[in-house]
Chain A
Amino acid sequence: METDINSQDRKDLDKFIKFFALKTVQVIVQARLGEKICTRSSSSPTGSDWFNLAIKDIPEVTHEAKKALAGQLPAIGRSMCVEISLKTSEGDSMELEIWCLEMNEKCDKEIKISYTVYNRLSLLLKSLLAITRVTPAYRLSRKQGHEYVILYRIYFGEVQLNGLGEGFQTVRVGTVGTPMGTITLSCAYRINLAFMSTRQFERTPPIMGIIIDHFVDRPYPSSSPMHPCNYRTTGEDTGVTYPSVEDSQEVCTTSFSTSPPSQLSSSRLSYQPAALGVGSADLAYPVVFAAGLNTTHPHQLMVPGKEGGVPLAPNQPAHGAQADQERLATYTPSDGAHCAATPSSEDTETVSNSSEGRASPHDVLETIFARKVGAFVNKPINQVTLTSLDIPFAMFAPKNLELEDADPMGSLHSDGSSGGSSGNTHDDFVMIDFKPAFSKDDILPMDLGTFYREFQNPPQLSSLSIDIGAQSMAEDLDSLPEKLAVHEKNVREFDAFVETLQ
């Protein structure tokens, strides 16, 4: 395996792999923050942009990555993995994807380190930028908000794919051959977004009741080392400051030569430690995020209905030698405002009341609705799901906090589903949150959302029902002569009225 790679090339290669690993983590995590990323091109080399790409460094992420690597590099049998998972406000979580940076035994002895390998690593990072936007987790992460958040975890060692469910798919981002082995970057992502809630048979407070201080309460059990990791600007209360990661901002002055490769002697890297300032000062990532959830795209959490579902074992990942910290990648608009739900034609399809019958007060809390399951869901979903749900509405009706109480909004859950929506198979459900257009996200009872729900399914007009219609018809006929007599008396008034119209 060891080739005649000289020590300087070996040092360069190790450096490249190290910073490539750090940049890979940055690209992946930043792509899951839920916001669009934008960096500027610079015609002059800045000296601090590895691989000639403007990828900002979030210090916390770099810190986590270095902690996971612990001075080692991805090598044969030792992969660096970034796990992306989703965690709901109820505490349920689901792994979405695993990004793996691996090394295999296939060596390319002829390749030039400081030219070809470097450029190919740069190309691979560009590919990673593109691929991180096309996996299913991207769209989920763009819509994270109160109901769920996206977390990341970095570990080093053996790749653990068990948490991705059945039938996960893999995409290879790319490979770069080196004299020490071939670097491979790939992603395994979940296809089946069906979610098994461990609280299936418990009463849980409605999602809409969770509010603003969600991230102040640490939802994670104390046994787990995970904790939310908010990227904060200076001045925040935690006062956690990460060591100035000088080496991650080492100035990379890369010169290339147009000489033929065999005569290459002047292309060496020079490193000058630089103050960190470049990365974090430029970042405008404020604190805890609170992006509102856009209900027009309900690619969201799924929970099973009453017909199926097995409680999932709590998925506390326990992998990797260097594993551990599960971090919440958060981001917030700087003004902290909730994003207004954007109304669109999809709104009419997002909420449907199933005609499967009223839920009795003693039914377990069932799941909620949804019509369409997102583009990346495996099973074709064609029918409406779920049973009705009393709890969220009870939340807004001040008197009815108990399931057993009569539900004043029972008419909402009566049969007569709003036309032909699609539903799920017994274990694929999507839960959505109905946010009516222009409504504020307040907790007052009888807000606009409640109003919509209450009056969305009005009872049928009594005059349209057949029996009553038949009766009234007979009555009408009987009362006709009287009515005619009255109208004849008032003929003059009617005529005067008609004249005013002309």
Chain B
Amino acid sequence: MNCRSEVLEVSVEGRQVEEAMLAVLHTVLLHRSTGKFHYKKEGTYSIGTVGTQDVDCDFIDFTYVRVSSDELDRALRKDALRNSGGDGLGQMSLEFYQKKKSRWPFSDECIPWEVWTVKVHVVALATEQERQICREKVGEKLCEKVINIVEVMNRHEYLPKMPMQSEVDNVFDTGLRDVQPYLYKISFQITDALGTSVTTTMRRLIKDTLAL
């Protein structure tokens, strides 16, 4: 089974980065979260209820829907903040994965089954009028992104099989109190304005050092 990969690109002003990323993250996680599972006898389980709420962006003419879970929101904000600020190109990856138990001494394997990559290009604007236009344009762009996300979600492609009680932690993040998203992790790659990524710079430095 190949990992499904989707790429979204947005150009935003510096102060819009956090909201744009949260909008995308929450829209994806809205579709990739269920209610809490409650297992009963005979392998059956019931599912809790997922609430939703509208979020108005302050710097973008846009409203998105997120799961009503403050814990999840806090976790995502912490991640989104790491990538905000600065000019240049940033890339965030939201990866859904399954854990596969391995025997000792090997650690559990994380097998991604869906990766969402959001490329954020940060621009600097000079005038208030440009900022106003940017508010609207970015709002429209995010509307398109939501439509793209929904289109992918409704292809009904691979989803992990519903797990038995013993394996639920291999598929879902059961640490939240009110909802249960699929296991996910978020990673960042920041490129400065010159177009060189931090990791490639580090790699080059190390290579050069070793070459001496």
Contact = CB atoms under 8 A, between A and B. Distances in A.
A52 B163 contact: no
A36 B56 CA distance: 8
Contact of B154 (A36, A41, A49, A127): A127
B38 to A, nearest CB: 7
B20 to A, nearest CB: 14
Interface string B24-59: 000100110011101010111111111111101000
A258 B46 contact: no
A300 to B, nearest CB: 14
B83 interface: no
Contacts of A52: 34-35, 47-50
Contacts of B153: 123, 127, 174
Contacts of B45: 255-258
Interface string A181-194: 00000000000000
Helix, strand, loop or mixed for chain B's interface? mixed
Contact of B68 (A41, A123, A124, A267): A41
B48 A45 contact: yes
B143 interface: yes
Interface in A244-289: 253-259, 266-267
Given A39-B68, A54-B68, A131 B147 contact: yes
Interface string A32-76: 000011111111111001001110000000000000000000000
Contacts of A256: 44-47, 162
A173 B154 contact: yes
A129 interface: yes
A410 to B, nearest CB: 31
Q: Which residue, of A45, A131, A135, A139, has the highest number of chain B Cβ atoms within 10 A?
A: A45
Nearest to A56: B51
Contact of A130 (B47, B56, B146): B146
A104 interface: no
A331 interface: no
Contact of B43 (A39, A44, A45, A259): A259
Contacts of B54: 36-38, 133
Given A37-B53, A40-B51, A54-B50, A126 B44 contact: no
Tell which of B30, B43, B52, B68 has the most Cβ of chain A within 10 Å: B52
Interface in A134-177: 134-135, 138-139, 142, 171-177
A43 B44 CA distance: 17
B65 A129 contact: yes
A266 B48 contact: no
B68 A375 contact: no
Contact of B50 (A53, A135, A255): A53
A375 B49 contact: no
B164 to A, nearest CB: 5
B128 interface: yes
Contact of A42 (B30, B48, B143, B154): B48
Nearest 6 A-B pairs (CB), nearest first? A174-B154, A134-B143, A36-B54, A38-B53, A39-B51, A54-B51
Given A52-B34, A172-B154, A257-B44, 7 more contacts: A37-B54, A41-B51, A41-B178, A127-B153, A133-B64, A255-B40, A297-B61
